[in-house]
Amino acid sequence: MHKMNAKKSADYCSLIENVKNKYRKNPIYAKNTPHIKYMLIGQDFGPPEKEEIKGTIANVRKMNDGIDVMFHDKVNLKARDSQTDKNIVGYFELLGKNEIDKKKYPDLFFCNCNLGYRRDKYSGNMTRKILANDAAEIKSLIDIIEPENIICLGLDTSVVVIRTLIDKKFSCNRVSELIGTGEPYIYGETYIYSVAHPGYWGTSTRGEDNVIADWMRIRK
């Protein structure tokens, strides 16, 4: 009897493997990645304890459980810690994408340069070396998605992305110098735009009018 069970078990595993291989070779439908017009690359996630208070972590948990919920569901964007998010919502309106905190757009893709969570602080202490930790994964993601446009938030994110995709030795220490005349950096068919970080410091350093002009230049 035991031998029979062992044989059945082996046959069952073999059957599953055959079926998997059959569908891998001849999928009933090909799973395509949607066409992405704008891929936004931020710096990093805020510290979990602060994100917990904002309510975004609870939303991420729901998403992981397959619940259809927006990242900013029930999050107060007027709160000080949400200033960056509130500004991003406003800047995307300049690109014709209204209320991205409430509506889903299939051609938008958001991610961060650093794929882990950080501790303690929202700003400062984030070095290019830390941001470059996940450079290989970010490059793989970009090569899969093939976005029309990449929008990099802030100096360090922009430098890391340009080093990863275009020129390993690229360096720059000022956002205004990085943006220059506003001509995008180019990687294959993808246009890369650097913008000031939309938080308080980035915006005030670049100047609100310049920031708006920078976003308005992003290819429609």
For residues 52 and 159, the model is more confident at 159
- Strand duo 190-195 + 185-187: pairing: antiparallel
Phi and psi torsions of 126, nearest 5°: -95, 110
What would the two tokens of residue 58 be?
């609870």
The domain limits of the chain are 6-218
pTM over 0.75: no
Mean pLDDT throughout 52-80? 57
Cα separation, 75 vs 96, in Å, equals 23
The residue ranking higher by pLDDT, 74 or 10, is: 10
Closest CA to 155 of 136, 134, 131: 131
**Which pLDDT tens digit goes with each residue over 172-190?**
999 999 999 999 999 999 9
pLDDT in tens, 203-219: 889 999 999 999 999 96
Residue 184: predicted pLDDT: 96
DSSP-assigned letters across all residues of 135-179: HHHHHHHHHHH--SEEEEESHHHHHHHHHHHT-TT---S-HHHHH
Which CATH class name applies to 6-218? Answer: alpha beta
